[in-house]
Structure 1
Amino acid sequence: MSNTTTIENWEKDKVSTMVRKGKIKEVTFPYDIGFLRNIQAILGENLIFWCLPQQIKGNGLSFPISSNAGTTDDSELEMDYLV
């Protein structure tokens, strides 16, 4: 549901500890695009078809990223894709 990579999941505890100690700034994980959009990326946009097998959109090499990925302030970036 948080749409994080395996490595990001492993590192969350380390990151939160370092943020608490003031060693680094808060980290925004780039693949977390929101609860509903994370689920829709896997199950599809139409709720009715979630129980039926269907082809996932995309090629498996590029994925949508959060609008504030890679920023250290609160400025907004356009939706981008990593390749």
Structure 2
Amino acid sequence: MRKEAGTIGIVFGTLLANTLGEILAGAVISKFGASTFKFAVNPFSAYLFSPLMMMCSVLIATMIGTASAGQIKISENIKE
């Protein structure tokens, strides 16, 4: 269940960052005087490479973080 939620979050985050995020950032930048600011979005990078890198980094961090979880003895770490 958590894997699907993470994947859905990455997909929605990527789509919103490249649609609503572009609109909001353009509005903020226009306040500083650049009224016709446009983002050049590389579809390969935005919709394939970046989400893949995010998924890989989360997977690696999870593997590193849980690598020694089976070796911990709860009874030795309980403080009375």
Q: What TM-score do you get using the length of structure 2 for normalisation?
A: 0.30
Larger gyration radius, structure 1 or structure 2:
2
**Structure with more contact order per residue of length (Cα contacts < 8 Å, sep ≥ 6):** 2
Give the structure with the higher percent strand. Answer: 1
| TM score, norm. by length of structure 1 | 0.29
